Amino acid sequence: VSVDFSQLYTYLDTVEQRVTRGAHQGLSTGADVVEQAAQQTSAYNDDTGATRASTVAVVISTIDDGSGTLSAAESAADAHNPGHGQNNVAISPSADRVVVALTSQTDYAGFLETTHAGQNAFITPTMQQYSGQLGQYAANGVKQEIEA
Amino acid sequence: VIATPNIAVLTATVYSRLKTDTEGASVRAAVGVGASSVIHAGDLDAATLPPRPFVALRRGPCTPVNLSEWRAYFTWWLYDSPEQGYYRLDSLIRLVGQAYAAKDLSAPVDGAPSWIELSAGQQGQDAKLNSLLFVPLTLVISF
């Protein structure tokens, strides 16, 4: 007996692509919310404006690796505080995940998160606050894509 | 409507586990001078730091994750002198975990059970806090 599974495999590939696309779209909406919240923080002094200008939430998947947004944010940091722009996100797109990365593209972003027991932290608290909601954004995006 | 937790009570409960509760006695024995070395992060002052090692609590977000569940984040920042290296701090991680595992926290919302996840962050050195070594230890409390 010979069974041809080629149509089934094609169908499953399509479903996988649509799930990824839906999750990416849904999380893009969520990332906008997260980014806005992070940019509105008053956790640090904002002496140069580099941190705020380079704070972005980017979705990384096989659809978009986010490098354009991250590079622009790094340039924005350099424009406000020359020599202090830095890419802090090293996540390669993978077929089995869709990632939201919230970052500030300065070379002192890590310092802000930890100094004085996290007194100036805003990346970590923002992601903690929105992590549950991001799951919902992803689910909504997938649902819309599948039902379309 | 999901009940809103009493964050003030929750924070006090998390803090007192190490500051005064019996379950936190081993932590107080391992820090510089007992309860004096257990403080709120808001009281951190580079000029008057507690005896080392010491621990400082900072509350993070407390947020609903769905229609029936809340999640609260707290971080104990563990500090020690540079000459000590990280051994005492790394030893404290286990003691803090045992203090919270020894007995459930009183429910932050009436009748709601709670559970705690604990994760240690990356080691670091704080240039603005007398170059002390630190390890952040985050508690995620779900209820």
DSSP A130-143: HHHHHHHHHHHHHH
Residue to substitute from B37, B48, B78, B128, interface A, most A β-carbons within 10 A: B128
How far apart CA B120 and CA B138 sit, in angstroms, is 6
Would you state the pLDDT for residue B66? 78
What's B105's DSSP letter?
P
Is any Cβ of chain A less than 8 angstroms from the Cβ of B74? Answer: no
Would you state the pLDDT for residue B9? 87
Is any Cβ of chain B less than 8 angstroms from the Cβ of A115? Answer: yes
Nearest CA in chain A to B58: A117
Residues 6+ apart with CB under 8 A from A68: none
What does each of the 148 residues of chain A score in pLDDT, given as a tens digit?
888 999 999 999 999 999 999 999 999 999 999 999 999 999 999 899 999 999 999 999 999 999 999 999 999 999 999 999 999 999 999 999 999 999 999 999 999 999 999 999 999 999 999 998 999 999 999 999 999 8
How far apart CA B61 and CA A38 sit, in angstroms, is 13
Token code pair at residue B101: 């595992």
SS3 content of chain B, % helix, strand, coil (to 5): 35, 30, 35
Is any Cβ of chain A less than 8 angstroms from the Cβ of B119? Answer: no
- For residue A130, with 0-12 CB atoms within 10 Å meaning exposed, 13-18 middle and 19 or more buried, which class applies? buried
Would you state the pLDDT for residue B108? 59
What's A64's DSSP letter?
-
Using CA of residue B117, residue B122, residue B128, residue B129, what is the dihedral sign?
A: positive
How far apart CA A105 and CA B3 sit, in angstroms, is 38
The stretches in chain B having pLDDT less than 50 are none
Residue among B41, B66, B71 whose CB faces A117 most closely = B41
Contact of A103 with A56, CB cutoff 8 Å: yes
Would you state the pLDDT for residue B98? 96
How far apart CA A96 and CA B98 sit, in angstroms, is 36
How far apart CA B8 and CA B25 sit, in angstroms, is 23
Using CA of residue A131, residue A65, residue A88, residue A49, what is the dihedral sign?
A: negative
* Helices and strands (H and E) in chain B: how many: 3, 6
Residue to substitute from A111, A112, A119, interface B, most B β-carbons within 10 A: A119
